[in-house]
Amino acid sequence: MEYLIFGVLLFMSGFFSGSETALFSIGKVAHARLQQSERKIERVISSLLEKPKDLLVGVLLGNELTNVALSIVGASITSQWLSDYSLTKQALLSAAMVIPILLILGEITPKTVASKKPELIAALVARPIMIFIKVTGPIIRFLRALTDFAIDRNLNKPVVEQADTTIDESEFRTLIEVGEQEGVLEAQEHQLIKNVLDFGDLSVGDVMRPWDRVVSLEDKTPIEKAIALVSGEPHSRIPIWRRHPRNVVGLLLAKDLLAIRWGLRPKRALNHLRRDPLFTFARRPAAELLEEFRASRTHMAIVINRSGQAIGLCTMEDLLEELFGPITDAHPGLNDPDERGGA
């Protein structure tokens, strides 16, 4: 009979140990999904996780009571084999035989299994754990009160039952990685969120196109030549420079040339067509420039150095591509001007 009791207690020890690992291995993303689930067992798991302190105290209470009972029964069994030894030797030998069994079968093995399949194990143990917590509710509340009092006494501040809902960026990045792995987030959703997080660390210099890749025009360029040049370029805004290619004095809109080409406007020198450009610096946060684009309804900025010389060009499209990936334009060129910059 004692052997049967020992086996049952060993199973219960493994049950509580595995339950603790399985339930507390369920992350925030998985918990949020369980809250929305229509399956009863998943709602039970969610309700357990909503009171983590009660869950922890309940599982530890069950585990400790079981282990104490297991040690007593184990000592009773081994004492029958060791009756010829003194009580001290019996206690030492009993511990030497019972502890390895308890560690391997009651702790290590169930925790290892539960850590590999937390949601599966949680689904198996949720209802029994819920029943145990309800039955031992008064004891759990008493133990919690003692624990809170001890913490309050030592830390000299009240213990408030309030979930910490704030997470830092590294925790959030971990959440979205787990979300993709568990299928909560699609690959595209995961990439978009990651791009948004990364975007906050980018400067204009990280996004801009170097000036040697920018198509630009001198302010003295004849209007016919400008129309011919821009007709073959997929840009709607062309920087205009004076005396030196890096001395930008304005922007030429392709739609203005389009109006001249179609005879909707009279021919005029480029100087009379140029618009005032927006200048910015490479060290400026990319998110800040995007906000200025939005507020001012501007789509392109000339990136300059301290001397006021152009070193690059940044467009709304460049910034949006950092967030959403490559943006395909099906209608480039002067014949149907788009919103891209002169690069």
Which H, E and C letters describe 255-267, residue by residue? HHHHHHHCCCCCC
We report the CATH number of the domain holding residue 219 as: 3.10.580.10
215 and 146: one domain?
no
Q: Do 65 and 208 belong to one domain?
A: no
First vs last C-alpha separation in the chain: 86
pLDDT of residue 333: 47
For residue 296, what are the domain limits?
204-324
User: pLDDT tens-digit profile of 243-263?
Assistant: 999 999 999 888 888 778 777
Per the structure block, which two tokens stand in for 154?
A: 């030592």
Residue 171 lies in a domain: no
Amino acid at 134: K
In a domain, 301, yes or no: yes
Cβ contact 195:324 at 8 Å: yes
Phi, psi for residue 151 in degrees, rounded to 5: -65, -45
Q: Which residues of the chain have pLDDT under 50?
A: 159, 330-341, 343
Question: 284 in helix, strand or coil?
Answer: coil
Residue 96 domain flag: yes
pLDDT value, residue 155: 61
Domain end position, chosen among 96, 123, 155: 155
Residues 225, 115 within the same domain:
no
For residue 32, tell me if it sits in a domain: yes
pLDDT of residue 335: 44
pLDDT number for residue 129: 94
Beta bridge partners of 241: 218, 248
Within a domain: residue 334?
no
CA dihedral sign of residues 144, 145, 150, 155:
positive
Count of structural domains, the chain: 2
The answer to whether residues 98 and 7 belong to one domain is yes
